[in-house]
Structure 1
Amino acid sequence: MTIDDIIDFVEGLDDVLTVRPAPGDGSPEISWGDSFFYYSPDRVVPQATQPFATIVTKNYPGDEGSRLDREGAFRVNIHAGKEAFIEAVGHTPREQGPTDVDAGAPDTVIAHPVYGSAAWLAVVDPGSGTDAVTRELLRKAHALARARYERRADSAPR
């Protein structure tokens, strides 16, 4: 899977807003080249929520273990929910998983090296071994984001 394959897939889901920070748009330089996916029927970045998935193309401070400083390396981060997290990695987000997990191992679904305790999953350089599961996790994350959006809309003052 390439970055463009993933972006095309996610944008094929309903009501997805993709944010791709770039020089001159007011975004922090560290985010340039990355992609952030939101459920947003009105095409506006939601103010009270995080993206349901991201693609990062570089190491962030405190998150060098994925070794995204390699040419062409990237990581897909997915907030697919607690059940999908447990199914993917075999433990709850709050439990300590295996300590020998290589955060930079390509084509492997792992607990996100920083946000795993919040039920985020990660895949560095997804390939044939994780193509189907990555797509399914992205579908689940999108469905959860839509459900959160609908709950907020139903509870908003009228």
Structure 2
Amino acid sequence: MTIDEIIGYIAAFDGVLTLRPGPGDGSPELAWGDTFFYYAPDGRIPARTQPFATIVTKDYPGDERSRLNRPGTFRLNIGVGAEVFRARTGRAPRDANSIDYDPSVADTLIAHPVYGTAGWLAVVDPGPRTAPTIRELIRTAHDRARAERTRR
């Protein structure tokens, strides 16, 4: 799956606000080229809320293990919550750091290398093996974000 295919898939869900930071928009330079997805039916970034999914195209400080600085490499990150995280990994999010895996392997569902403990999963360079799973997890994350927004 390409970045544009993933963006198109997620942006088609109801109430999604897609942010693509770039020069001149006031965002930090480090975020330029990445994409952030919020459930925001009013079109405004919700206060005190994280995106429900992100696409990152480069290594961030403290998050270099996925080796995203390789040409053409990106990682899709999905906030699925504890229950789905446990179902997919066999571990509670609090144990994410004890899962032994290589976070740079392409087209493989993994605990997010930094935010796994918060119930996030990730895929570097999603492809045919993970595409159906990614679509399901994105729907789950979107539904969670919508439900959270409704509770407020």
Q: Normalized against structure 1, the TM-score is what? A: 0.93
Unaligned runs of 5+ in 1: 153-158
Displaced runs of 4+ in structure 1, greater than 4 A? none
Partner amino acid, structure 2, of 1:43? G
Partner amino acid, structure 1, of 2:122? A
- Give me the whole-angstrom Cα distance separating, in 2, the residues matched to 1:83 and 1:48: 22
Partner amino acid, structure 2, of 1:73? T
Corresponding residue of 1:109 = 109
Q: CA offset at residue 97 of structure 1?
A: 3.6
* CA offsets 1:82-131 (integer angstroms, 9 cap, x no match): 111112111110125432x0010100111100011000111000000100
Q: CA offset at residue 75 of structure 1?
A: 0.2
Contact 1:82–1:92 (8 Å) recurs in 2:
yes
- Give me the whole-angstrom Cα distance separating, in 2, the residues matched to 1:29 and 1:88: 34
Structure 2 SS opposite 1:94: helix
Q: CA offset at residue 22 of structure 1?
A: 0.2
Taking only aligned residues, the RMSD between alpha carbons, in angstroms, comes to 0.8
Q: Sequence identity of aligned pairs in percent?
A: 60
- Give me the whole-angstrom Cα distance separating, in 1, the residues matched to 2:17 and 2:98: 33
* CA offsets 1:16-35 (integer angstroms, 9 cap, x no match): 00000000111000000000
Partner amino acid, structure 2, of 1:149? R
Unaligned runs of 5+ in 2: none
Partner amino acid, structure 2, of 1:32? W
